[in-house]
Amino acid sequence: MATFRRLLLGRRLASEESNETRISNPIALAVFSSDALSSVAYGTQEIMAPLTAAVAIFGAGVLGWSWWVALGIVGLLLVLNISYRQTIHAYPTGGGAYLVAKDNLGEMAAQTAGASLLIDYILTVAVSISAGVSAVTSAFPSLEAHRVFLALAIIAFIALMNLRGVKESGLVFSVPTYGFVLCILALLAKGFWNVAMGHEAVVKVAVHLDSTSKLAAVWLFARAFSAGCTALTGVEAISNGVTAFKEPVAHNAAKTMTWMVVILGTMFLGITYLTNHYGLTYHPDAPETLLSQLTRSILGGSEQGFRKVAYLTTTGFTMAILAVAANTAYADFPRLAALHARDGFLPRQFTSQGDRLVFSNGILILSAAAGVLVILFGAKEDHLMPLYAVGVFLGFTISQTGMVRRWFRLKGKGWHLKALVNGLGAVTTLVVMLVIAVTRFTHGAWIVIVLVPLMVMTFFNIHRHYIRVKSILAGSRADFFSPRKNRVVVLVSGIHSGVVQSLNYAKLIAERGDVEAITVDFPDEHGRDSAALVRLQADWPRYCEGIPLRALRSPYRKIVEPIVEELDRMRRAEPEYTITVILPEFVTGHWWANILHNQTAFRLKGTLLMKPKTVVISIPYHLEPLVE
């Protein structure tokens, strides 16, 4: 088992080897930007979906609005870039919105930001992988029936790679990221060459609105804008993972973020412009993605020879980056969950690092949650999109507001300009968040809006529990305990070497004669002792070490319940005693054989753990010598 684990995950890393897990800027771009960069595969598509549906009302000219929507989104992207660069330099230890909010706005804001981002990371995995599967089924429609299985398989693969470590997963996933970027840039170059040559241009149609339809047009534009803002998810990822960069961490993280924004903005605007040029439309139930349509349109012809290879290459890298876009969430979700856990708002297990210095529990929980969403929504990204972006823009808003509060609190050189930049980011992202919440509320955004406060309540309940436990443990140090008496109870079902060892041990720890053995007997239909009890009582004097045996009758054929009831009676009768329960258990030579034994002992230990003044000791008897 240990050999298989090493083969699967790699060699164990010691804590002092943490510097070896830091990543360079090119690898970091692949690790932390794959989510944002991959969103161009469906960002324009999401803008076009409501516009296409409105063609029957406003005419074909409404499709041209997608260009202005895209320009607005890229403008917002630039604002976020400047704002988050300031966040990176102000908080080089990472943590993003969570630490910014905690430092400047208090715990409630921090937990709200954290909850919204944790939800968004889960959705990132589900949406990205579902979109990747859609890219595959666009090229190979016969795989449509297997999309859920494909999505779950990809989740399992990405989880495994991340369990091996951030650096290793970055090296593997950098190929799809850079391959996708090169394919899209080459596709855009070919597309703009076609534009320059005047090929296949679509005649522009004006949109004429009367006074009644103007309000509907505003609503339509807002819906298209909110849908397109899914292209901005993942922008905050670099600020959350600053500590993963090589030194100087802040400089490298800020530089990588600027490169991400430049590449993302270029691809997003290019795809949207060419979509308009070719007059493409998109409907959520369409069998082919918008990017696949655009690729076919730009390449032209019947897609034979080189064109076919180019189409399949672009489709392949699109599927690959959409699949590995989930890696951004795998890089940030475990880190953010660990921050919550370190502060006592999530279970402490999230702070545990595995053999490869990664937060293994966070990776596994993220995989399980995303897998459930994939199954529930049939691996259809169009069904998941309405839940998307609300949480991330809530995190944007809280983070930028916290930075404004920071500049007003610390001031310093140029603080007015810094506060203005972050203030602009806060106002802009707040407006966008409200637009998304309103336009997508009935389409599923309400789920996230309800889920965030529920998660925050859960966080604070966990925090109160940890505070209570800490105060009780701290207070117990000052308590004075007088010496207690000890009564030892050995539970037996028959006589074997493990039972004899348990009886000997009981005599060592018992005071005077405060030790007895207890067994449970199932009387027959006439109320007489069972044959097993009769045999046990006959053999007992030879092996009992002078310890008396008492049988508890169980007419309802229960074992755990009569024992627990008897121990409760003993505690009530002698409250000054601590009861030590000894459980003889034999251990088999194979893990699978243990499943066949000792389930009663397991239930007993679990039940007695909740009982006060009760100590449970297991005496193992190993069967390996008998087997050999």
485-491: strand order across its sheet: 549-553, 515-521, 485-491, 577-587, 614-622
Collapsing DSSP to helix, strand or coil, 301 comes out as coil
Amino acid of residue 438: V
What is the share, in percent, of the chain residues with pLDDT greater than 90? 12
| β-pair type (485-491, 515-521) | parallel
More confident of the two residues 323 and 85: 85
Residue (of 314, 237, 406) closest to 40 by Cα position = 314
How far, in whole angstroms, is CA 251 from its chain's centroid? 28
The pTM (predicted TM-score) of the whole model is: 0.70
Q: How confident is the model at residue 15 (pLDDT cuts 50, 70, 90)?
A: very low
Q: Is 87 left (phi over 0), alpha (psi -120 to 50) or beta?
A: alpha
* 12 vs 69, residue with greater confidence: 69
Confidence class of residue 281 from pLDDT cuts 50, 70 and 90? confident
What is the distance between the alpha carbons of residues 130 and 385, in angstroms, rounded to a whole number?
11
| Whether residue 248 has a cis bond before it, omega within 30° of 0 | yes
Report the 10 Å Cβ neighbour count for 212: 7
Find how far residue 187's CA is from the centre of its chain: 34
Inter-residue contact 254 to 242 (CB < 8 Å): no
Q: What is the pLDDT of residues 82-109, one digit of tens each?
A: 888 888 888 887 667 888 888 888 899 9
CATH number for the domain whose boundaries are 485-627: 3.40.50.620
Q: What is the mean pLDDT of residues 555-571?
A: 88
Give the Cα separation of 47 and 625 in Å (integer): 70
Rounded Cα distance, 11 and 451, in Å: 39
Single-letter residue type at 375: I
**Residue 203, pLDDT above cutoff 50:** no
Is the separation of the CB atoms in 381 and 323 below 8 Å? no
Query: Where are the strands (E) in 309-367, listed by range?
Result: none
Query: Tell me: domain 37-87+100-207+219-463, CATH 3.30.300.130, correct?
Result: no
pLDDT of residue 20 exceeding 70, the answer is no
Q: What is the pLDDT of residue 528?
A: 82
Give the max Cα distance, the chain: 105
Amino acid 149 reads F
Whether pLDDT at 518 is above 70: yes
- Range with lowest mean pLDDT among 170-174, 213-217, 237-241: 170-174
- Dist. CA 58–CA 624, nearest whole Å: 80
pLDDT of 189 over the 80 cut: yes
Residue 185 has pLDDT above 90, yes or no: yes
Distance CA 69, CA 188 (A): 19
Whole-angstrom distance, CA of residue 209 vs CA of residue 63: 14
H or E segment and range at residue 592: helix 591-594
Whether 596 has a pLDDT exceeding 70, the answer reads no
pLDDT confidence of residue 626: 45
The pLDDT of residue 201 is 54
Say which range, 169-178, 304-313, 361-370, has the weakest mean pLDDT: 169-178
Q: How many CB atoms lie within 10 A of CB 608?
A: 18
Domain-by-domain residue ranges, the chain?
Answer: 37-87+100-207+219-463, 485-627
CA-nearest of 334, 435, 395 to 125 is: 334
- What's the mean pLDDT in 572-601? 78
pLDDT of residue 628: 42
Task: Pick 212 or 286 by higher pLDDT.
Answer: 286
Mean pLDDT of 454-483: 78
Q: How far apart are CA 580 and CA 571, in angstroms?
A: 11
What is the model's pLDDT at position 278? 85
Residue 510, pLDDT > 60, answer yes
**pLDDT band at residue 625 using 50, 70 and 90 as cut-offs:** low
| CA pair distance 439, 214, nearest whole angstrom | 16
Task: Give the per-residue pLDDT at 569.
Answer: 92
Tokens of 82: 């400047």
The domains spanning 37-87+100-207+219-463 and 485-627 adopt the same CATH topology: no
Distances (CA, A) of 486 to 409, 483, 544: 60, 10, 20
Alpha carbons 583 and 604: distance in angstroms, whole number: 9
Q: How far apart are CA 461 and CA 463, in angstroms?
A: 5
Taking CA atoms, 192 is separated from 200, 267, 279, 420, 481, in Å, by 12, 12, 15, 37, 83
Rg (CA), the chain: 32
pLDDT in tens, 212-227: 567 777 778 877 887 7
pLDDT digits (tens, 9 = 90+) for 383-405: 776 677 777 788 888 988 988 89
What's the rounded mean pLDDT across residues 333-358? 81
Percent of the chain past pLDDT 70, that is, above it, reads 84
Q: What are the tokens at 7? A: 């083969």
Quickly state the pLDDT bin for 206 (edges 50, 70, 90). Answer: very low
Contact 260, 34 (CB under 8 A): no
Q: Is 583 helix (H, G, I), strand (E, B) or coil?
A: strand
